[in-house]
Amino acid sequence: MTVILAEERAAVCEFARRMTTDGLVVGTSGNVSARRGELVAVTPTGVDYAGLRPEDVPVVGLDGKIVDGSLKPTSELPMHLTVYREAADPDGKAISAVVHTHSVHATAVSTLVTEVPPIHYMLAAIGPTARVASYATYGTEELAKAMLEALEGRRGCILANHGTTTFGDSLGSAYSRAQQLEWVCQVWLTARAAGTPNLLPAAEIEHVVEKLRGYGQR
């Protein structure tokens, strides 16, 4: 029997567990999804990621209706589907994965500023800046709308008093951006605690955004 989105469901399990191991979430918070065509595999709500199995991962359509699986999808499903339906990668790449974390440093930064200060050039992994979306209750269309506005021209954003959202053409790329965003926020908070950080000019971040387009093996 053919299993719907078998590879994507397995990847969702893998990266959900990585979020816990890497300290980007606590307990069952945070969620990940992977898309193929018109279907999305997404973490279920309220399930311990340590024991998550591919068959536990529900599959939904872009309209949010469950196509396969017996468990309810994450409460943040509106956020994931909004990315797939309405967000755009700055380089025109397909968006095939979304990662939502409750990472500590990024969440802390969201309570202090409206954009992540350019403390390090790796901020360019997200875009020219990383915006902080205005606060809205978790799991709501209002939160999804605020996130979408903050994502314009970016590959990720911070959700005020909540966490982060990043996307990519694979779960690996989306997850890497979540890690980079959290690391940049940690660097800024550490420097800020010790004094007044020297920041990079906006033009340098823009320059690195361009350099990253050709980075890595081809």
Domain of 158, CATH number, reads 3.40.225.10
19-24 long-range contacts (CB < 8 A, ≥24 apart) are: 19/49, 19/99, 19/101, 19/175, 20/49, 20/50, 22/179, 23/103, 23/104, 24/101, 24/102, 24/103, 24/178, 24/179, 24/182
State the pLDDT confidence band at 215, using cuts at 50, 70 and 90. Answer: low
Q: How far apart are CA 194 and CA 104, in angstroms?
A: 19
Q: How far apart are CA 115 and CA 133, in angstroms?
A: 9
Q: How far apart are CA 160 and CA 136, in angstroms?
A: 8
Residue 1 lies in a domain: no
Q: How far apart are CA 96 and CA 173, in angstroms?
A: 10
Residue 193 lies in a domain: yes
Indicate the SS3 state at residue 10.
helix
Active site residues: 76
Segment 53-91, tens digit of pLDDT: 999 999 999 999 999 999 999 999 999 999 999 999 999
Counting the structural domains of the chain, the total is: 1
Residue 218 lies in a domain: no
Instruction: Quote the pLDDT of residue 62.
Output: 98
Segment 119-178, tens digit of pLDDT: 999 999 999 999 999 999 999 999 999 999 999 999 999 999 999 999 999 999 999 999
Residue 179 lies in a domain: yes
Full domain range(s) for residue 141 = 6-213
